[in-house]
């Protein structure tokens, strides 16, 4: 099994979806994605749909619907390899599941090149996968932006802010956080603002530590890599307030 690194990115993700669960948009939730592991389905259950989409793409590599279907069914196949028995711990994904998620990301990238109006439901799922499993917060931002544009809410914009902070885009994160607060019910605006500010603070600590580690090691990644998690040892779900 491939253990998801419990770094700033993973922790911020877990906090974000406790606060701003995508289920608000009616498209699914973190449990829908991460609860897929351990069920009766197996990755091979989606082989017919995946193979059909690939056959269509052999005839037309820019077939928009085929690319979307390929991304969708590779995502579903990957979900069968995900498990999270303890909700206080990050999810894990099997090697096969990781392969499926990578294939889904590749198909999604190709799809975005031809789609005039990308599917927001799949965008939401791709944002989660890119952030949590593929360690690509920049790709998560791009996907979540599609979802947030289609369904602007405190939930979608709050998660967008988290992804932006994690990718190092503080300006973008601040703008999305401001919009998220504005979209939140009046009774919870201060709490949402505080929670997003906490994520921003941890992101700032992370990038400061990353910069210091790179400087101390002469710019190499090896020596300082393990030190980068230390600033976030105090960041956890249990220490974060939840929305009413």
CATH code, domain with 14: 1.25.40
Residue 217 is part of which domain span? 2-232
Residue 187 in any domain: the answer is yes
Q: Are 34 and 84 in contact (CB under 8 A)?
A: yes
Residue 243 in any domain: the answer is no
Lowest mean pLDDT among 34-38, 54-58, 114-118, 239-243: 239-243
Question: DSSP 3-state assignment of 11?
Answer: helix
Give pLDDT, residue 2: 41
Give pLDDT, residue 234: 31
The model's confidence at residue 33, banded by pLDDT at 50, 70 and 90, is low
- Within 10 angstroms of residue 95's Cβ, the number of other Cβ atoms is 10
Pairing between β-strand 92-93 and β-strand 2-3 as defined by DSSP bridges:
antiparallel
Residue 240 in any domain: the answer is no
- Within 10 angstroms of residue 205's Cβ, the number of other Cβ atoms is 16
**What's the CA gap between 197 and 24, in Å, rounded?**
21
The model's confidence at residue 88, banded by pLDDT at 50, 70 and 90, is low
Would you state the structure tokens that stand for residue 199, as one six-digit string? 């994520």
**What's the CA gap between 119 and 104, in Å, rounded?**
14
Give pLDDT, residue 23: 36
Residue 237 in any domain: the answer is no
**What's the CA gap between 69 and 122, in Å, rounded?**
10
Give pLDDT, residue 60: 98
**What's the CA gap between 109 and 100, in Å, rounded?**
14
Q: Select, from the ranges 106-115, 155-164, 233-242, the one with the highest average predicted confidence (pLDDT).
A: 106-115
Question: DSSP 3-state assignment of 201?
Answer: helix
Residue 75 in any domain: the answer is yes
**What's the CA gap between 124 and 203, in Å, rounded?**
22
Residue 18 in any domain: the answer is yes
Is a pLDDT exceeding 80 seen at residue 185?
yes
Question: DSSP 3-state assignment of 131?
Answer: helix
46 to 34, 70, 104: CA distances (angstroms) = 17, 10, 13
Question: DSSP 3-state assignment of 184?
Answer: coil
- Within 10 angstroms of residue 230's Cβ, the number of other Cβ atoms is 11
Give how many domains the chain has, as a whole number. 1
**What's the CA gap between 174 and 95, in Å, rounded?**
36
pTM (two decimals)? 0.77
Describe the crossing of helices 8-19 and 154-167 by its angle, rounded to 10 degrees: 170
Is a pLDDT exceeding 70 seen at residue 147?
yes
Give pLDDT, residue 183: 94
The model's confidence at residue 244, banded by pLDDT at 50, 70 and 90, is very low
Give pLDDT, residue 20: 57
Would you state the structure tokens that stand for residue 60, as one six-digit string? 């037309």
Give pLDDT, residue 216: 82
**What's the CA gap between 139 and 119, in Å, rounded?**
15
Is a pLDDT exceeding 90 seen at residue 27?
no
Q: Select, from the ranges 1-10, 129-138, 146-155, 198-207, the one with the highest average predicted confidence (pLDDT).
A: 146-155
The model's confidence at residue 102, banded by pLDDT at 50, 70 and 90, is very high
**What's the CA gap between 209 and 215, in Å, rounded?**
10
Does residue 235 or residue 182 have the better pLDDT?
182
**What's the CA gap between 22 and 31, in Å, rounded?**
10
Query: What percentage of the chain exceeds 90 in pLDDT?
Result: 50
Residue 140 in any domain: the answer is yes
Residue 106 in any domain: the answer is yes
């Amino acid at each position: 099994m491939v253990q998801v690194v419990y770094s700033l990115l993973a922790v911020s993700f877990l906090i974000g979806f406790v606060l701003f669960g995508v289920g608000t948009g009616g498209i699914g939730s973190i449990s829908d994605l991460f609860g897929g592991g351990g069920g009766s389905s197996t990755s091979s259950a989606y082989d017919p749909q995946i193979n059909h989409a690939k056959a269509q793409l052999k005839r037309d590599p820019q077939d928009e619907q085929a690319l979307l279907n390929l991304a969708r069914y590779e995502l579903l196949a990957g979900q069968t390899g995900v498990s999270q028995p303890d909700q206080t711990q990050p999810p894990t994904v099997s090697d096969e599941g990781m392969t499926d998620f990578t294939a889904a990301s590749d198909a999604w990238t190709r799809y975005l090149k031809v789609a005039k109006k990308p599917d927001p439901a799949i965008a939401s799922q791709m944002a989660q996968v890119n952030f949590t499993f593929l360690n690509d917060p920049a790709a998560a931002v791009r996907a979540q932006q599609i979802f947030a544009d289609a369904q602007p809410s405190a939930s979608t914009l709050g998660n967008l802010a988290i992804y932006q902070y994690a990718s190092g885009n503080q300006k973008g994160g601040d703008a999305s956080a401001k919009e998220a607060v504005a979209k939140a019910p009046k009774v919870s605006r201060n709490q949402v603002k505080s929670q997003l500010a906490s994520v921003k603070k941890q992101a700032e600590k992370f990038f400061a530590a990353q910069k210091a580690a790179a400087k101390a090691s002469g710019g190499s990644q090896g020596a300082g890599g393990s030190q980068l998690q230390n600033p976030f040892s105090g960041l956890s779900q249990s220490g974060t307030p939840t929305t009413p």
